[in-house]
Chains A and B, each alone.
Chain A
Amino acid sequence: MAMKRIAVVATVYRYLSHAQHIGDRFLVGYPWNGAWHRPDMKVVSLYVDQKPEGDQSAARASEFGFEVYPSIAAALRCGGTRLAVDAVLVIGEHGDYARNEKGQVLYPRYEFVKQCVEVFEHDGLAVPVYNDKHLSYSFDRAKWMVDASKRLSFPMLAGSSLPVTWRLPDIDLPLDCEIEGALMVGYGGADVMDFHGLEALQCMVERRKGGETGVRAVQMIQGDAVWTAGDAGRYPRDLLVSALSRSDTPQGQTIVDGRTQDLVAKGELPRLVKSPAAYFIEYRDGLKATLLMLDGAVKDFTFAARVNGAGVQSTQFFLSPEPNVTYSACLVSKIEEMFQTGKAPYPVERTLLVSGILESCLTSRFAGQKRLETPHLDVRYRAPRQSQHART
């Protein structure tokens, strides 16, 4: 079988951008399963939407023997008249794009995938597509992207590294378990890092009994209301303690003198977190889950859930340090698997649902932090039987 040919469609390609992290691994290989793995695939074309200072597109093209094309269609056809690649990497993260009134960065992922789909339709042939991070800032557009993949029968994978990176400890929730409550703690800004937190949360809770059946309502609140909600028991204190016990990055007094801290018992959270945010998710089957963004208290992503018969289960989603960010190697191995086999190792509906949860949460915040019914988030899917995170 001939070596698979890959087109990269990116917003920008510069050092430490997602396109560089992901794209480079197809060029120089990556650490996987204890060896340096070199994909049996070749990047043959690249489209970059913006060429900021530090742009690497021309240098990579010349070193690794591919072309930078002026349009997505040309990249997919390698300058010819028909689709000339076996797979497409769409990496619409980083770059200079506007934000809307809800604070969402308007990355052109939908536009990029739509142009790919137009080529597929025109040429009568479709190939696997990976879309980095959430599908779109708009659920409608994200839905269109997923529907297109169904309509044209091309495999699609999306999302971030969080669900597939190392876990400390290495646990997964048992398939078909009964989850009584789930909490994720993260850090960073809205519409950037919250996506990672929501996706990590989703890859855990989707394993519950009955599978994923979608989300009934969401609410995002900010400020002191987050602490009040905690005092009122809207998110379980024991799950918060458990998630934070998995953190390696408590701030505050630990920065001052290195000490360990029980941030909850000592009442440190309100002092450390100037702008807390809570994302409340009510699933259609009754499960309630919460993402707490505690910027100022921690700098990692940790999870805890109460599981019927198994007590509280908790772990850290390990984001290994820059510049290696080996977690992205875990993601690339999944992308490569889809390109090689034509099957997505986990359902794109996960990312579709998370894209919609995030959009609705940001809408809730914009609408005065009101609870919003989300009948459109009727997204049903089953989790993969096999755990997909790094463990070998």
Chain B
Amino acid sequence: MNISRRSVLLGLGAAPLVWRAQRRPGRPRLAAICTTYFKYSHAQHIVDRFLEGYGWNGTHHHPAMDLVSIYIDQVGADDVSQTRLREFPSMRLYPSIAEALTLGGSALAVDGVVLVGEHGRYRRNEKGQTLYPRYEFFQQIVKVFTDSGRSVPVFNDKHLSWSWDWAKEMYDTSRRMGFPLMAGSSLPVTWRTPSVEMPLGARIREAVCVGYGGVDSYDFHGLETLQGMVERRRGGETGVKWLQAYRGDAFWKAHQEGVWPKDLVEAALCRSHTLKPARAGFNDTLPGPDEMRTLVKDPVAYRYAHQDGLMCTMLLLGGLVEDFNFAAHVDGHPGVFSTQMYLPMPPGRTTLANFFSPLVNNFEQMYLTGKETIPVERTLLTTGLTAAGIESLFRQQARFDTPHLAIPYQPTKASTFWRT
């Protein structure tokens, strides 16, 4: 399955074509390219919404498109794709990515590609990164585009790749070939409690996200939470100059010394719906410093400086919270600007991971209009930040300069989070 990056590059270089995504009349047809498909895997959440529909805008919405082909890299004992294929004969399983895109023929035969490279058994490298084959899948998709002389919109779930170089290449390829590309996490588009948006052009002085989960997984969600808000600041996004990670004792020392603003951490905690009570018999208490330290066994922070000077800190406080909360000092806003990016999270609290609905709805629009609803540069940047955080941790928490993350872009004027 490993393909040579070099050969693909050479292949691409040989074809000077204009591949504007061309809309064909009728309902768009989609191909799903997935690592694996089990209950509560990202592929299940995403693909099912095309097959079964989902609650949207107060009705049960069926996307105006057909997911007609699927490639699944790993079929495990917990697979549920087989039942889907039986129930939805309009969706066919293909043994390769190329065949899923060509529907077994010789040329691209779908109008959009859904790439879900999350979950599944893949090797981890020495830095702890799971080597999900998103880049490899993407290259195979692009090869079909190239061979067919036509390209179509692609959605890539979560970050583009564990490797910054590969992510950048994926982005550059989409720009060069001119096909719409969307990517990222549900965090920027899910419900917020309260349902507030960062005003466009706000002067943000500093921002934090308090979340939970592990490095190389939920850190990306925390970074997307932050980026979905701070990109709306005055001047738009400018990119990131450097990042430093903190973990263990170094984290607590930095927290104690106020390396990141404690009042923002407290404000974020006050938006949580899952604040672990430090004392038995109490159901909702604000933890003191010692209690925080008792509850959080493996704290992680990524603190980073944007090119325009904005400082952001993404904190993973597993053991204390199980949600993602944002807080910022914003000029002109009384007190702290804060909200929770609410994830209805199964199986404990809900049965459906409905935060996938606004994500699917956003890229669904791309398949209909050929236009990205959210700039993919956001996820290019958060992909790079995730890798930079892991790199800093790998280098004993040394500050890591990120000149490659000078990624300027402008946010959409309209809000894209779930509020209807």
Contact = CB atoms under 8 A, between A and B. Distances in A.
Name the prevailing secondary structure of the B interface residues: loop
B173 interface: no
Contacts, number: 155
A56 interface: yes
Interface string B185-197: 0000001011100
Interface in A108-141: none
A244 B336 contact: no
A34 B335 contact: yes
Contact of B284 (A30, A59, A247): A30
B31 interface: no
A15 interface: yes
B392 interface: no
B284 A265 contact: no
A245 B282 contact: no
B418 A324 contact: no
A15 B281 contact: yes
Contact of B273 (A30, A326, A392): A326
A56 B281 contact: yes
Contacts of B353: 258
Given A248-B350, A259-B52, A28 B336 contact: no
Contacts of A241: 59-60
B273 A321 contact: yes
A392 to B, nearest CB: 5
A327 to B, nearest CB: 9
Interface in B335-354: 335-339, 342, 344, 346, 348-354
Q: Which of A20, A248, A249, A264 has the most CB of B within 10 A?
A: A248
Contacts of A313: 58
Given A28-B282, A36-B266, A258-B80, A324 B346 contact: no
A324 B283 contact: yes
B331 to A, nearest CB: 17
Interface stretch (A162-170, A194-202, A214-222): A162-170
Given A258-B44, A304-B58, A31 B270 contact: yes
Contacts of B338: 34
Contacts of A32: 270
A59 B281 CA distance: 10
Interface in A238-267: 238, 241-242, 244-251, 254-262, 264-265
A347 interface: no
Contacts of B275: 31, 324
Contact of B59 (A245, A250, A260): A245
B195 to A, nearest CB: 4
B195 A170 contact: yes
B39 interface: yes
Contact of A34 (B45, B286, B336): B336
A312 B58 contact: yes
Contacts of A250: 351-352
Given A258-B45, A326-B273, A248 B351 contact: yes
A259 B44 contact: yes
A261 B52 contact: yes
15 contacts: A21-B283, A28-B282, A28-B286, A34-B327, A168-B191, A245-B55, A250-B352, A257-B80, A260-B49, A262-B52, A320-B273, A321-B349, A324-B273, A390-B193, A391-B195
Closest 3 CB pairs of A and B: A245-B55, A248-B350, A323-B283
Given A31-B269, A258-B346, 16 more contacts: A28-B282, A29-B286, A31-B284, A34-B337, A35-B267, A35-B270, A170-B419, A245-B59, A249-B351, A258-B80, A258-B352, A260-B49, A262-B52, A300-B350, A324-B277, A392-B194
